Structure 1
Amino acid sequence: MIRTRRGIHAAFLALGLAGTALLAAPAWAAGTLTISSPQDPGSWDPIDTFLVNWASVATNIYDGLTYRGADLKLVPGLATAWEELDDGKRIRFTLREGVKFHDGEPFNAEAVKFTFDRLLGEEGKKGPQRSNYAAIDKVEIIDAKTVDFHLRAPDPVLLTKLAGYGAMIVPPKYIQEKGDDYFNAHPVGTGPFKVTSYEPKIGIKLEAFADHWGGAPKLSNLEYRFIAEPATAVAELQAGRVDLVIPPTIPVGMIPTIQADPKLEVVSTAGPTVYALRFNTKSGPTADERVRKALILGVDRDAIIKTILGGQAAPIASFQGALSFGNDPAMKPLPYDPEKAKALLKEAGIATGTTLQIDVRGNDSTFNEVSQAIASYLQVIGLNATIKPYETNVLLNDIIPAGKTGAMFEQAWGGWTLDYDNTAYSMYHSGEKWNPYDSDPKLDALLESQRSITDRAKREEILQSIAHYTADRALEIPLYNYNAIFGVSKRVKNFTPVPDSRLRLTDVTVE
């Protein structure tokens, strides 16, 4: 049973994940599912990454204490129950017994403590995940199947955060013996599939883990191929060498090609992923708020959604979608108004023909089309926008965090917790990896204040005020909330698209 002193939680079984853990594991269906993923994350360590393409693989390798599936409901994972104590400043977790890591090491309270000591320590400091779990002060072992999380302050999103990314439970003995660098390329978890081989830039192969606590998956193998070029991925899907192409690979322009093939189908679902052009607010023309507002006014985002994106997106007024807790449905984007944009540029003293650089991910063909359209709109208001493509990992790991971008840079963000805090704190708080330029004490205070509030209505009010404040300061051009688009072979059965692309493939089969 999941319980709290406040009586918030009802009894749960781990539905959809492993509700029949006490039953015998089902026989494997013969078959390998081959998946095209657009990006090699570069490390399989949970604390090293923020990438959706990491999670789409690693959700099958690791388990967290909690789990959130395609229906977005939170259920037990490696913890069978939890209880909030001390007004939310302590959470006691009862751990699942009889669980093994892929190398045979037992899962227990020591593994939980090791995972979070590592995440919150020097090793975690090197990666982007630690700030998401900053509310955790320490993990205390009560006994082999019980741990207490002592919090600096209540975190209303923590239980969801424990279902993904940095909170995935890792094996202490294995990491201590092999080292962090080895673990990056040879991950071991407790998930339904275990890694058999990994070739950087090529792919990663997994096989079903027969001893998984929820029973063996229905597939015998998963094979992920890293294919950055969309046309190649779709060609491989058509040829039958790939069974599933995951987001954000498929450009809208290739959807008709897939739909025209009787062996294939397109599956699309609304998700949390939003796109924006963020600004260098520290130097150059975009340091001026008037210029930033002019650039927003100068781009017809509705036309881009209709023509380039084929309606597979929705407009946004802040850097979050409609599923996000903290989104204000009454908030409207700035309208397309090129004349007002020109007036603001003139007021700011920006000369006609001023050049502004837009940095983009080179393999994102859909956004490359969008950025070309944006450049054309900016030309109408008298600006010369140049587009500089980067290899994705270079842009995300070297250019943006170091503050080496042009005036504008592409930012796509999944916001997988479906809570605006996950996006806003990372994008706007001083010193964060994705905020290389801006520092705003008032905004920092707002971001920090909502993290410890358990009153849902009050917290939503603060998050909405953050959205309005960042829009007033014009910290980015909010572009659109993009659907998650999958290309699927019809030989794939029982596939359910998930909004956050964290695909748990235990029930999928192939004919």
Structure 2
Amino acid sequence: MNKKTLSTTAMALLLSAGLALPAAAQGTLTVSSPQDPGSWDPIDTFLVNWASVATNIYDGLTYRGPDMELVPALATGWEELDEGTRIRFTLREGVTFHNGEPFNAEAVKFTFDRLLGDEGAAGPQQSNYTSIDSVEIIDDYTVDFHLGAPDPVLLTKLAGYGAMIVPPQYASEVSEEEFNLNPVGTGPFSFVSYEPRIGINLEAFEDHWGGAPQLANLNYRFITEPSTAVAELQSGGVDLVIPPTIPIGMISTIEQDPRLSVVSTPGPTVYSLRFNTRDGITADERVRRALIMAVDRDTIVEAILGGEASVIASLQGELSFGFDPALEPLPYDPEAARALLAEAGVAPGSQVQIDIRGNDATFNEVVQAISAYLAQVGITASIQPYETNVLLNDIIPQGRTGAMFQQSWGGWTFDYDNTAYSMYHSGEKWNPYDSDPELDALLESQRPMTDRDAREEVLHEIARYTAERALEMPIYNLNAIYAVSDRVQNFVPAPDSRLRLTDVTVE
């Protein structure tokens, strides 16, 4: 595509300075999204496809664009007080919600009282913000966040999901169902209509504090079947197909059409097979290392994933804060794997069960290849598919997995703490088997740190420690894959699929 892009950095400078973006133009962009979130209330969802839409409807106190830089949004600045237990935010003046309500300190306090109260408790977002004890209004455009616990990722969390600011009067007066179906925010596009399982339509909010969008209309269609989404792209029914719709196997079909392009960028999602470290042969670290070394992950990435991924050494990709480029994956070495298995007393023909999500066709293919590699070192692997909700909410948390189990993790904060604490700290939902006081201490030590470099070094140490213990088989970090019509100009792919489409135009 011929892109005439206003860079994200330039946009951020304009926004932080309170200057308007270029004037609005005409045109409608139609986007294919694979999932209808079912509610547009920020406290109701953790779905990436909610954020793909709602990032255009709502604003947070902070904003993080495709360049991964955190910049001011509804807050023009902030400072840490009382040794990091209080954060003071200075709010942007002159901002209005789509319904005309003013944005001010009252709106911020209302949003977080609601999120941290009974309404928020009924949804999945509250747990991400429990470090906030209370929000105090200092004046109309100043608020203090009082923290009960350190959270090094809080400022990033304020850029998305549950922290999106809502209008107090509207949210108080309408029913919960009406707010779910008729969202109101301060974002660059305002709500027009929503038809469940069909789509949602937005229009430019000319009075947005950052300037009017280039597009007049932004429409989303919910198309779950990848082949249907691609057919609609080819026919002009949609202009943009967003992750995670496009299967690897359909990339060549799209690229063969001169009117279409595939655009990809490293995403947040990492794939691994975690080990049952409590029971059976995988309780032995030597066995775990052997199973990792038995698998040629480079070949899997190239042959099965078409190069749209990168092999990882820990449960994070290169965009993650805490990523250590010096940490290399264990090499593919079947001879060394056989030696380790023999040293551990594992007899040829020993069996392991691998639990996976039954609806993940691509990963199923990856696991079939892993099973074949394990067979070459004398391990017989059986593959047990589960319905996703059963695996995630019963089998894993209850510690009822086989020797290995699929763990796909897409922490949108791109901070290793968001992954590592959940995966490795004793007692966490995603850590049913392991309890390591030394690792717990490392995880806890970095959370209060305000020195970014010092915290990054501890995160590096955590990654090295978990790799040495071989707590999982890290496999790959998958790209976020978009398919785009050549009608679309100025499109910049977001690694986390949270697309703010203010600069996009259509020809």
- Where on the TM-score scale, by shorter chain, does this alignment land: which range? 0.7 to 0.9
Greater mean alpha carbon deviation, residues 66-75 or residues 220-229: 220-229
Greater mean alpha carbon deviation, residues 151-160 or residues 441-450: 151-160
Does the 8 Å CA contact 1:274/1:480 hold for their aligned counterparts?
yes
2:219 match: secondary structure: strand
Corresponding residue for 2:77?
81
Return the alpha-carbon distance in structure 2 between the equivalents of residues 154 and 316 of structure 1: 29
Greater mean alpha carbon deviation, residues 381-390 or residues 71-80: 381-390
1:504 match: secondary structure: coil
1:54 Cα deviation after fit: 2.4
Q: Deviations over 1:241-290 (max 9, x none)?
A: 12111122222322221111011011122333322223444556545544
Does the 8 Å CA contact 1:321/1:327 hold for their aligned counterparts?
yes
1:354 aligns with 2:315: no
Return the alpha-carbon distance in structure 1 between the equivalents of residues 278 and 251 of structure 2: 40
Change in CA separation of 1:51 and 1:399 when aligned onto 2, cut-off 3 Å = farther
2:411 match: secondary structure: coil
Corresponding pairs, count: 497
Greater mean alpha carbon deviation, residues 185-194 or residues 123-132: 123-132
Greater mean alpha carbon deviation, residues 287-296 or residues 365-374: 287-296
Does the 8 Å CA contact 2:24/2:216 hold for their aligned counterparts?
no
Corresponding residue for 2:478?
482
Find 1:461's aligned residue among 436, 457, 460. 457
Return the alpha-carbon distance in structure 2 between the equivalents of residues 282 and 206 of structure 1: 51
Find 1:331's aligned residue among 304, 327, 330. 327
Return the alpha-carbon distance in structure 1 between the equivalents of residues 487 and 286 of structure 2: 54
Q: How does 1:12-91 map to 2 (within 5 A)?
A: 15=12, 18=15, 26-31=23-28, 33-91=29-87
Q: Deviations over 1:456-480 (max 9, x none)?
A: 2321121112112222333321111
1:129 Cα deviation after fit: 3.6
1:492 Cα deviation after fit: 0.7
1:399 Cα deviation after fit: 5.8
Find 1:385's aligned residue among 376, 382, 406. 382
Does the 8 Å CA contact 1:20/1:215 hold for their aligned counterparts?
no
RMSD: 3.0
In structure 2, runs of 5+ residues without a counterpart are 1-8
Change in CA separation of 1:61 and 1:412 when aligned onto 2, cut-off 3 Å = farther
Corresponding residue for 1:219?
215
Return the alpha-carbon distance in structure 2 between the equivalents of residues 219 and 436 of structure 1: 48
Find 1:494's aligned residue among 479, 490, 495. 490
Which amino acid letter does the alignment assign opposite residue 192 of structure 1? P
1:15 match: secondary structure: helix
2:453 match: secondary structure: helix
Return the alpha-carbon distance in structure 2 between the equivalents of residues 63 and 469 of structure 1: 38
Does the 8 Å CA contact 1:259/1:265 hold for their aligned counterparts?
yes
Q: Deviations over 1:176-210 (max 9, x none)?
A: 33354553444332211233333444333322223
1:64 match: secondary structure: coil
Corresponding residue for 2:371?
375
1:322 aligns with 2:322: no
Greater mean alpha carbon deviation, residues 180-189 or residues 293-302: 180-189
Does the 8 Å CA contact 1:63/1:168 hold for their aligned counterparts?
yes
1:250 aligns with 2:246: yes
Change in CA separation of 1:340 and 1:125 when aligned onto 2, cut-off 3 Å = farther
Q: How does 1:249-268 map to 2 (within 5 A)?
A: 249-268=245-264
Corresponding residue for 1:7?
none
Return the alpha-carbon distance in structure 1 between the equivalents of residues 501 and 374 of structure 2: 44
Return the alpha-carbon distance in structure 2 between the equivalents of residues 378 and 394 of structure 1: 26
Which amino acid letter does the alignment assign opposite residue 152 of structure 1? G
Q: Deviations over 1:59-116 (max 9, x none)?
A: 1121110111122222211112222323333221111123222333332212211222
Greater mean alpha carbon deviation, residues 124-133 or residues 441-450: 124-133
Greater mean alpha carbon deviation, residues 74-83 or residues 167-176: 167-176
Change in CA separation of 1:45 and 1:377 when aligned onto 2, cut-off 3 Å = farther
Does the 8 Å CA contact 1:371/1:387 hold for their aligned counterparts?
no
Which amino acid letter does the alignment assign opposite residue 30 of structure 1? G
Return the alpha-carbon distance in structure 2 between the equivalents of residues 175 and 432 of structure 1: 34
Corresponding residue for 1:100?
96
Return the alpha-carbon distance in structure 1 between the equivalents of residues 324 and 27 of structure 2: 48
Corresponding residue for 2:3?
none
Change in CA separation of 1:199 and 1:424 when aligned onto 2, cut-off 3 Å = farther
Find 1:190's aligned residue among 177, 186, 190. 186
Does the 8 Å CA contact 2:352/2:402 hold for their aligned counterparts?
no
Which amino acid letter does the alignment assign opposite residue 328 of structure 1? D
1:311 Cα deviation after fit: 2.1
In structure 1, runs of 5+ residues without a counterpart are 1-11
Change in CA separation of 1:27 and 1:314 when aligned onto 2, cut-off 3 Å = closer
Return the alpha-carbon distance in structure 2 between the equivalents of residues 288 and 126 of structure 1: 41
Corresponding residue for 2:5?
none
Change in CA separation of 1:171 and 1:453 when aligned onto 2, cut-off 3 Å = same
Return the alpha-carbon distance in structure 1 between the equivalents of residues 10 and 302 of structure 2: 43
Q: Deviations over 1:306-356 (max 9, x none)?
A: 211222222111001122221222212122233444455563657726251
Corresponding residue for 1:152?
148
Which amino acid letter does the alignment assign opposite residue 493 of structure 1? Q
Return the alpha-carbon distance in structure 1 between the equivalents of residues 425 and 395 of structure 2: 19
Return the alpha-carbon distance in structure 1 between the equivalents of residues 37 and 278 of structure 2: 29
**Percent identity among equivalent residues?**
71
2:328 match: secondary structure: coil
Return the alpha-carbon distance in structure 2 between the equivalents of residues 206 and 403 of structure 1: 44
Does the 8 Å CA contact 2:491/2:504 hold for their aligned counterparts?
yes
1:126 Cα deviation after fit: 4.5
Find 2:419's aligned residue among 405, 418, 423. 423
Does the 8 Å CA contact 1:266/1:488 hold for their aligned counterparts?
yes
Does the 8 Å CA contact 1:208/1:216 hold for their aligned counterparts?
yes
Change in CA separation of 1:442 and 1:195 when aligned onto 2, cut-off 3 Å = farther
Return the alpha-carbon distance in structure 2 between the equivalents of residues 383 and 446 of structure 1: 36
1:141 aligns with 2:153: no
TM-score (structure 1 length as normaliser): 0.87
Which amino acid letter does the alignment assign opposite residue 96 of structure 1? R
